């Protein structure tokens, strides 16, 4: 089928007047010889967004390479077929659906609820826009077989996504292989065989009671009830135009923490994200308003959630102004907190992604706990045996695995508030706690080198070159162990990842980005002092850049 025919067929199925108008205009201009419109259509119909272990995610718009009501309807019908196929003894699968404040999130959620109900499933729609962790919690709390969260997390404003969780033995974690391939096959069958207007729909879905949200609030407030030292604590908070504040505010009242100075311009959900170019606390400038608010209120620290509140950033004041702590710094503070509580518990473990700081392993060893490294993503971290805490360097933390089997920026915020109050009671600060931890386990420092490319094949060529001629050294440090995780020798995590251990214990991990046209190198060093660690990291950074340029 040629592109124009494919586009006309898609248009005939589309229930959304906005994307219908968008696609109709493109078709008309392409038929009139407009080369730009023809190129745009070719891009939109070059394939379809791939359903994988992260579900679906992409730019909003018409066509199978965009997020829209046709694609979501096909995904919902395919997922319903997968759940029905897995059901035993004639059981009726239960699926809960949540959504955030992004454009079309509520529409995609209602479409999904109607299609699930039309397919004979018990569909439960959360009562309003809520954070992703509430949906992950609801899957377990309601005893559901599955969950769907409509969100693009911290992606650009024009994106949206469709994240899938499984209940039962998966305990409310995100899907992993082979479930992703099996669901994708059902979705493709629906797309090939059934037109969207012919999909059965029903408005007989349930609306979840407020009790679900209240149960999450109660469980999360219990993560770290406020000690007496929290009285008078001054802090600032931003929701980054997302959905975190309403839920967090209720938890603060329940747990007994003083209210923060909020970033007024960013506290309410706004799908346009007007004050940030990219709604991700890791991006340069994204926390500038939060730092200004903190300075104006003489705050002791800043907390920031991303738009769906599954990630947490922390800012602290310093001699050169405010700075955002790295994900590794927060992860090690929270890891040490969990390790102290779990010490002596048989089988208890800490876990992190393999590109996160090895400092968590040093913490686990110090407290006699098991330690696991996994592939990136909480779908893997959450499945670590005996997990009591897990994190990844991209600001994701799992602090309450008995409640939520996914990263949770709200429970992490409560845990950080508890640490800040504890520090305050001892006459120190969050920065002071980092110094104390470094004195115990050593001075770990991490960095990252990213190479963005226009031609994605360049990344493959660099990886091939590194495999064919493995580096024997980075700068003045010899490589003592080189591992290719495409074929891991020890049965550990596998992927398109190269890992090098150097003679001073430093580590370099090279892998393609899973979401952007980038090659990434993660650098980790351990020094005798902050200055020594910084010097080692600087030297390693220069050596890795040189090696990748040669590749």
Are 388 and 370 members of one domain? yes
- Give the confidence band of 486 by pLDDT, cuts at 50, 70, 90: confident
**CATH number of the domain within which 118 lies:** 3.40.120.10
Are 248 and 339 members of one domain? yes
Q: What is the mean pLDDT of residues 162-189?
A: 95
CB 339 within 8 A of CB 364: yes
In this predicted structure, what is the pLDDT of residue 489? 64
Tokens for 401? 């695995």
Are 298 and 362 members of one domain? yes
- Which residues, 6 or more positions from 538, have their beta carbon under 8 angstroms from its beta carbon? none
Residue 258 burial class via C-beta count within 10 angstroms: exposed 0-12, middle 13-18, buried 19 and up = middle
Q: What is the mean pLDDT of residues 23-38?
A: 96
Q: What is the mean pLDDT of residues 102-128?
A: 98
Last residue of a domain, one of 16, 31, 46: 46
Q: What is the mean pLDDT of residues 86-109?
A: 95
Last residue of a domain, one of 422, 440, 458: 440
In this predicted structure, what is the pLDDT of residue 16? 97
Are 434 and 456 members of one domain? no
- Give the confidence band of 6 by pLDDT, cuts at 50, 70, 90: very high
Dist. CA 261–CA 300, nearest whole Å:
11
Tokens for 414? 């409560």
Q: What is the mean pLDDT of residues 158-175?
A: 95
Strands in 235-238's sheet, in edge-to-edge order, are 261-262, 235-238, 301-305, 312-318, 321-324
CB 10 within 8 A of CB 2: no
CB 102 within 8 A of CB 82: no
Answer whether residue 155 shows pLDDT above 80: yes
CB 182 within 8 A of CB 164: no
In this predicted structure, what is the pLDDT of residue 454? 82
- Pick 8 or 514 by higher pLDDT: 8
Q: What does the CA dihedral 467, 472, 475, 479 come to, rounded to 10 degrees?
A: 100
pLDDT, tens only, 403-457: 999 999 999 999 999 999 999 999 999 999 999 999 999 999 999 998 888 888 8
Query: How many residues would you count in the chain?
Result: 551
Q: What is the mean pLDDT of residues 392-397?
A: 96
pLDDT, tens only, 340-367: 999 999 999 999 999 999 999 999 999 9
Are 7 and 67 members of one domain? no
In this predicted structure, what is the pLDDT of residue 195? 97
Domains contained in the chain, number: 4
The region, left, alpha or beta by phi > 0 then psi within -120 to 50, assigned to residue 369 is beta
In this predicted structure, what is the pLDDT of residue 451? 86
Query: Closest Cα to residue 55, out of 406, 320, 549?
Result: 406
Tell me which residue has tokens 């995590």. Answer: 493
Dist. CA 417–CA 420, nearest whole Å:
5
Query: Closest Cα to residue 524, out of 510, 511, 537?
Result: 537
Task: Calculate Rg over the CA atoms of the chain.
Answer: 24
Dist. CA 343–CA 361, nearest whole Å:
14
Q: What is the mean pLDDT of residues 310-335?
A: 96
Last residue of a domain, one of 173, 208, 243: 208
pLDDT, tens only, 526-548: 999 999 999 999 999 999 998 88
Q: Are strands 498-502 and 146-150 parallel, antiparallel or unpaired?
A: unpaired
Are 373 and 305 members of one domain? yes
Dist. CA 352–CA 25, nearest whole Å:
48
**End-to-end distance of the chain based on CA atoms, in angstroms?**
41
pTM: 0.94
**How does DSSP classify residue 229?**
G
CB 315 within 8 A of CB 291: yes
Query: Closest Cα to residue 475, out of 504, 436, 440?
Result: 504
Are 431 and 391 members of one domain? yes
Tokens for 365? 């060893």
In this predicted structure, what is the pLDDT of residue 58? 94
Q: Is the peptide bond before 178 cis (omega within 30 degrees of 0)?
A: yes
Percentage of the residues of the chain whose pLDDT score is greater than 70? 98
In this predicted structure, what is the pLDDT of residue 53? 76
In this predicted structure, what is the pLDDT of residue 488? 66
Give the chain's mean pLDDT: 95
Q: What does the CA dihedral 240, 246, 248, 251 come to, rounded to 10 degrees?
A: 170
Residue 484 burial class via C-beta count within 10 angstroms: exposed 0-12, middle 13-18, buried 19 and up = middle
Domain hosting residue 508, numbered range: 443-550
pLDDT, tens only, 43-81: 999 999 999 878 999 999 999 999 999 999 999 999 999
| 3-class SS shares of the chain: helix, strand, coil, % to 5 | 40, 20, 35
Dist. CA 11–CA 213, nearest whole Å:
38
3-state secondary structure of 105: helix
pLDDT, tens only, 359-392: 999 999 999 999 999 988 999 999 999 999 999 9
Answer whether residue 551 shows pLDDT above 90: no
Tokens for 391? 């994190």
Answer whether residue 251 shows pLDDT above 90: yes
Query: Closest Cα to residue 173, out of 205, 209, 149, 208?
Result: 149
Answer whether residue 490 shows pLDDT above 70: no
Answer whether residue 515 shows pLDDT above 70: no
CB 56 within 8 A of CB 70: no
| CA-to-CA dists, residue 176 to 51, 401, 492, angstroms | 11, 18, 16
Dist. CA 551–CA 286, nearest whole Å:
33
In this predicted structure, what is the pLDDT of residue 452? 84
Are 268 and 231 members of one domain? yes
Are 528 and 395 members of one domain? no
Are 453 and 541 members of one domain? yes
Are 124 and 177 members of one domain? yes
Are 235 and 112 members of one domain? no
Active site residues: 153
């Amino acid at each position: 089928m040629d592109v124009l025919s494919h586009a006309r067929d898609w248009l005939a199925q589309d229930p959304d007047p906005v994307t219908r108008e968008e696609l109709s205009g493109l078709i008309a201009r392409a038929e009139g010889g407009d080369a730009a419109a023809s190129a745009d259509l070719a891009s939109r119909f070059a394939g379809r967004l791939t359903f994988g272990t992260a579900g679906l995610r992409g730019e909003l718009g018409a066509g199978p390479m965009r997020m829209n009501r046709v694609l979501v309807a096909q995904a919902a019908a395919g997922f319903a077929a997968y759940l029905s196929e897995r059901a035993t003894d004639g059981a009726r699968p239960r699926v809960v659906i949540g959504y955030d404040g992004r454009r079309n999130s509520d529409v995609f959620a209602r479409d999904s609820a109607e299609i699930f109900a039309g397919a004979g499933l018990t569909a439960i729609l959360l009562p309003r826009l809520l954070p992703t962790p509430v949906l992950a919690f609801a899957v377990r709390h309601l005893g559901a077989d599955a969950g769907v969260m409509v969100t693009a997390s911290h992606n650009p404003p024009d994106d949206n996504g469709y994240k899938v969780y499984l209940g039962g033995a998966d305990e409310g974690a995100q899907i992993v292989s082979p479930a992703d391939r099996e669901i994708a096959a059902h979705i493709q069958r629906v797309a090939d065989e059934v037109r969207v207007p012919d999909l059965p729909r029903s408005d007989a879905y349930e609306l979840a009671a407020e009790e679900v949200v209240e149960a999450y609030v109660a469980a999360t407030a219990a993560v770290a009830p406020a000690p007496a030292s929290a009285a008078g604590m001054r802090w600032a908070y931003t929701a980054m135009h997302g959905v975190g504040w309403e839920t967090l505010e209720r938890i603060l009242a329940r747990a007994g923490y003083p209210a923060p100075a909020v970033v007024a311009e960013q506290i309410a959900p706004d799908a346009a994200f007007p004050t940030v170019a990219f709604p991700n606390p890791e991006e340069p400038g994204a926390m500038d308003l939060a730092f200004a608010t903190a300075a104006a209120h003489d705050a002791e620290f800043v907390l920031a959630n991303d738009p769906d509140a599954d990630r947490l950033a922390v800012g602290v004041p310093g001699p050169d102004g405010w700075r955002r702590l790295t994900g590794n710094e927060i992860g090690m503070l929270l890891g040490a907190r969990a390790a102290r509580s779990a010490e002596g518990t048989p089988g208890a473990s800490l876990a992190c992604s393999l590109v996160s700081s090895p400092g968590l392993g040093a913490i686990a060893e110090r407290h006699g706990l098991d330690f696991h490294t996994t592939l990136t993503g909480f779908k893997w971290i959450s499945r670590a045996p005996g997990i009591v805490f897990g994190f990844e360097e991209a600001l994701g933390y799992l602090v309450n695995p008995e409640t939520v089997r996914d990263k949770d920026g709200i429970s992490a915020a409560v845990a950080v508030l508890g640490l800040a109050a504890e520090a305050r009671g001892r006459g120190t600060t969050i920065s002071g706690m980092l110094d104390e931890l470094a004195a115990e386990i050593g001075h770990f420092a991490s960095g990252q080198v990213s190479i963005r490319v226009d031609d994605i094949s360049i990344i493959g060529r660099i990886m091939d070159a590194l495999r064919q001629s493995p580096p024997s050294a980075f700068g003045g440090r010899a490589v003592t162990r080189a591992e290719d995780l495409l074929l891991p020798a020890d049965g550990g995590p596998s992927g398109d990842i190269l890992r090098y251990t150097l003679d001073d214990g430093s580590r370099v991990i090279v892998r393609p980005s899973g979401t952007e046209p980038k090659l990434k190198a993660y650098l980790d060093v351990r020094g005798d002092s902050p200055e020594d660690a910084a010097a080692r990291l600087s030297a390693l950074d220069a050596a890795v850049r040189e090696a990748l340029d040669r590749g």
